[in-house]
Structure 1
Amino acid sequence: MPAPSPLPTHLYKILPSAPPSPLPERLPLSDLDRNDGYIHLSTSEQVPGTADKFFGSVSELWLLKIEYEVLAAGTDGDGKVKTEDKPQVKWEEVGRGYFAHLYGGDLGRGNVKSVEKVEKRGTWAASLSLLEW
């Protein structure tokens, strides 16, 4: 499916609980990611809607900020660019738009730029509007 134009600078993985600190080379997959066979990611514009829809009952979230170009280059969680069985970002239509899915790779300290904790104040859309994306 088509990627957005222009391409985003960053993608985000939403976590309902704190990731290990420091980040390991490979973060464990969520049950949803494991069952679907890819890692669900969002653009900054998609994060508030995704958070409200899937994480409405939690009071805090952690956002993993990932540079799009790093993932698109095939960089795995260990920070190495794979040449064989290269991880791929695919843009796929999901109900309300096109979302990035990472196939064949992991997230970890080698491709996650930063981790941000966000506390819910009202809706996720209102709480997340305070972030610098």
Structure 2
Amino acid sequence: MSSPTYIYKLVPTSSPVPDIVPDVLPLSDLDANSGFIHLSTAAQIPNTLRHFFADQDAVYVLRLVYAHVEKEIRWEGPQATVCGDRSDEGMFPHLYNGKPPKLGKDEVESVRLFTRVGDIWETTIIPEAQGWLVE
């Protein structure tokens, strides 16, 4: 597997991300309980949105430069107990950079707000992400 240029963190708008990313963003309950930060590749984002953000009208997508966090990433399979089998999506990047893990201005390269169009996220991803959501 070749290394991606970017990996991504999805954050609900109920946990607002400010215009200037702070040193440390609050952890989601899932990340805090897991002991690592769940991330996705660009190709994995549509299903991550469908499985974990179906009830959200908007999400923040945080883009991380993979080379900046590569040493702290473990590629691991998805746990089917969380949202069902996602083995066809390959391994997922997980950030292990401390106890508790942190994500903030040193890791986040840029942020976009994606607002869902219609009933499904897949119709949103194509127009809003062109040129920004890349592997």
Fold equivalence (TM over 0.5): yes
Query: How many corresponding residue pairs?
Result: 115
* Structure 2 counterpart SS, 1:56: coil
State the Cα RMSD in Å: 1.2
Q: Report the 3-state secondary structure (helix = DSSP H, G, I; strand = E; otherwise coil) of the residue aligned with 1:26.
A: coil
Higher helix share: 2
Question: Alpha-carbon deviation of 1:21?
Answer: 3.1
Q: Which residue of 2 aligns with 1:99?
A: 92
1:113 maps to 2:109: yes
Q: How is 1:44-123 mapped onto 2 (pairs within 5 angstroms)?
A: 44-73=42-71, 88-94=72-78, 95-96=85-86, 97-103=90-96, 104=98, 105-122=101-118, 123=120
Task: Normalising by structure 1, report the TM-score.
Answer: 0.81
**Runs of 4+ residues deviating >6 angstroms:** none
Counterpart of 1:126? 123
Partner Cα distance (1:125, 1:66) in 2:
22
Unpaired runs of at least 5, structure 1:
74-87
Give the partner amino acid of 1:109: K
What is the TM-score of this pair, normalised by structure 2? Answer: 0.80
